[in-house]
């Protein structure tokens, strides 16, 4: 898409992402081509993001507390580290219950700020990336778009495993039913209370069409972020007004050059990138466990160390920092080890790398299972896989020339058929 092109008139487009790196980055991926079309882009974000969006040429309107995102992740791990060591079903009673409770509390606290923000910005279109309905946004009187930067099992369908389970698509249906039954037991009381609250704020009542999300689909346009090759359209059609985006790669960042540090540049072995995401990298015990295993590999590693990166050192075959430029690093590596966050999955396909996925919670289980089912990588148990299992998985994927060629072709296809231009057209057509 040409940066010089422009639409008939400039629109003011307000993005309101959930307060987490993956969601903000997904919004950036859509905002960049809209900015190139001459539109005014405004991000409504919590105070901890101050200054982070300005380099892209976007405006920032800040609200809420100025808590750094990294501190949120550290506090989260302190509270829930033991829960993350459970399987997806056993996480429902405490972890999923408390997460949903906190999402609802966040929405209720933020709603007055966002109502004022809408009055201040006067957007023509609002793009929402959240799992819970924000009444001030859906009642703003302008078209709103739901960006689901999560695994599309959230497009609920009986022919697919339940969202967040990580169960195989050809698995035991009675196991699916048991998971759904427990999820309903955990969520339904919160759902009823929240539904009453949003209607009191003037928002339409929730339907169960998007269950287990506490959010209705937008009547205007809904976008989800997932590679075509791993999508579930072989099991169910998409509902009306849903459009898939292949990869919302932050192109302005990918154009910058990353120079491999000398510590690694002069060593033998393949180059591997490990990122356990915002929450996984805040789990010091997990990071130390993985690094102790990977030290025994003959290969080189770039490590996204996370917010506690100063509290541990890396061995000779590794280099890393608290935050690293992921989209600049991915083109250089031979393999990626990741928690399976949606943003990392889609960026990884864009650059065509095999994956080892160590999921922590929620749709990361689904992504890990889907990647393994489709033959693009290996799923392992994050906290309990053995040293041998992880090291063997690395060697198996690095030696798989057929997979490397397949991923190379898919990467080329995604770049050539970048459908962000179509996404921009759909958004512009709303007004």
Mean pLDDT check: name the lowest of 3-7, 104-108, 150-154, 361-365: 3-7
CA distances from 286 to 84, 85, 382 (A): 11, 10, 8
| CA atoms of 345 and 336, how far apart (whole Å) | 10
| CA atoms of 405 and 199, how far apart (whole Å) | 52
The DSSP secondary-structure symbol of 389 reads H
pLDDT digits (tens, 9 = 90+) for 42-52: 999 988 889 99
Q: What is the mean pLDDT of residues 299-319?
A: 96
Where do the structural domains in the chain lie, given as residue ranges?
12-249+418-428, 252-415
Which among 357, 351, 353 has a CA at the least distance from the CA of 335?
353
Which among 82, 88, 21, 162 has a CA at the least distance from the CA of 365?
88
Give the angle subtended at the CA of 214 by the CAs of 277 and 75, to the nearest 5°.
Answer: 35
CATH superfamily for 12-249+418-428 is Glycogen Phosphorylase B; (3.40.50.2000)
What percentage of the chain reaches a pLDDT higher than 70?
94
- pLDDT category at 70 given cuts 50, 70, 90 is low
Whether residue 196 has a cis bond before it, omega within 30° of 0: no
Q: Distance between the two ends of the chain, CA-based, in angstroms?
A: 21
Which class does domain 252-415 fall in?
alpha beta
pLDDT digits (tens, 9 = 90+) for 340-369: 999 889 999 999 999 999 999 999 999 999
pLDDT digits (tens, 9 = 90+) for 196-211: 999 999 999 999 888 8
Above 50 in pLDDT, residue 115? yes
pLDDT digits (tens, 9 = 90+) for 214-268: 999 999 999 999 999 999 998 988 888 999 988 667 665 555 678 999 999 989 9
Return the top range by mean pLDDT from 19-33, 78-92, 218-232, 291-305: 291-305
pLDDT of residue 281: 93
More confident call, 354 vs 415? 354
Above 50 in pLDDT, residue 1? no
Concatenate the DSSP letters of all residues of 293-306 into one string.
Answer: HHTTSSSEEEEE--
Q: What is the mean pLDDT of residues 323-350?
A: 94
Above 60 in pLDDT, residue 5? no
pLDDT of residue 61: 94
pLDDT digits (tens, 9 = 90+) for 121-166: 999 999 999 989 999 999 999 999 999 989 998 776 788 999 999 9
Please tell me the total number of residues recorded for the chain in this structure: 431
Which among 336, 352, 370, 331 has a CA at the least distance from the CA of 406?
352
Q: Dihedral angle at the C-alpha atoms of 187, 161, 149, 364, nearest 10 degrees?
A: 90
More confident call, 418 vs 425? 425
Return the SS3 of 64.
coil
| CA atoms of 155 and 148, how far apart (whole Å) | 10
Q: What is the mean pLDDT of residues 49-70?
A: 83
Which among 246, 425, 430 has a CA at the least distance from the CA of 348?
246
Whole-angstrom Cα Rg for the chain: 21
pTM for the structure as a whole: 0.93
């Amino acid at each position: 898409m040409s940066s010089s092109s422009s639409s008939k008139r400039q629109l003011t487009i307000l993005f309101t992402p959930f307060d987490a790196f993956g969601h903000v980055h997904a919004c950036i991926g859509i905002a960049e081509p809209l900015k190139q079309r001459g539109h005014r882009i405004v991000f409504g974000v919590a105070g901890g993001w101050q200054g982070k969006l300005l380099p892209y040429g976007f405006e920032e309107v800040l609200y809420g507390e100025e808590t750094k995102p990294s501190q949120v992740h550290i506090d989260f791990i302190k509270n829930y580290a033991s829960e993350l060591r459970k399987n997806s079903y056993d996480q429902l009673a405490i972890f999923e219950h408390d997460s949903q409770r906190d999402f609802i509390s966040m929405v209720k606290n933020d709603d007055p700020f966002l109502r004022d923000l809408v009055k201040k910005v006067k957007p023509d279109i609002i793009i929402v990336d959240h799992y819970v309905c924000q009444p001030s946004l859906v009642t703003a009187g302008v078209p709103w778009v739901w960006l689901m930067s999560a695994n599309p099992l959230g497009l609920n369908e009986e022919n697919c495993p339940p969202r967040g389970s990580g169960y195989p698509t050809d698995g035991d249906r009675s196991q699916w039913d048991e998971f759904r039954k427990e999820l309903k037991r955990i969520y339904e009381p919160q759902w009823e209370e929240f539904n009453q609250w949003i209607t009191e704020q003037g928002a339409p009542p929730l339907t169960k069409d998007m269950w287990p999300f506490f959010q209705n689909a937008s009547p205007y346009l809904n976008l989800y972020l997932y590679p075509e090759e791993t999508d579930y359209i072989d099991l169910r059609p998409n509902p009306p007004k849903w459009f898939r985006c292949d990869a919302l790669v932050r192109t302005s960042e990918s154009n910058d050059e990353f120079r491999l540090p000398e510590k690694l540049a002069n060593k033998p072995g393949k180059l591997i990138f490990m990122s356990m995401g915002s929450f996984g990298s805040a789990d010091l015990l997990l990071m130390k466990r993985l690094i102790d295993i990977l030290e025994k590999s003959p290969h080189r590693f770039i490590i996204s160390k996370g917010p506690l990166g100063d509290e541990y050192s890396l061995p000779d075959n590794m280099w890393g920092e608290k935050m690293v430029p992921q989209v600049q690093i991915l083109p250089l590596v031979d393999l990626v080890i990741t928690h399976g966050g949606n943003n990392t999955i889609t960026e990884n396909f864009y650059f065509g790398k095999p994956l080892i996925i160590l999921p922590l919670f929620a749709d990361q289980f689904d992504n890990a299972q889907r990647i393994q089912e489709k033959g693009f990588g290996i799923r392992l148990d994050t906290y309990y896989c053995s040293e041998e299992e992880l090291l063997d998985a690395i060697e198996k994927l690095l030696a798989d020339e057929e997979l490397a060629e397949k991923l190379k072709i898919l990467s080329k296809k995604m770049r050539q058929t970048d459908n962000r231009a179509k996404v921009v057209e759909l958004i512009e057509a709303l007004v």
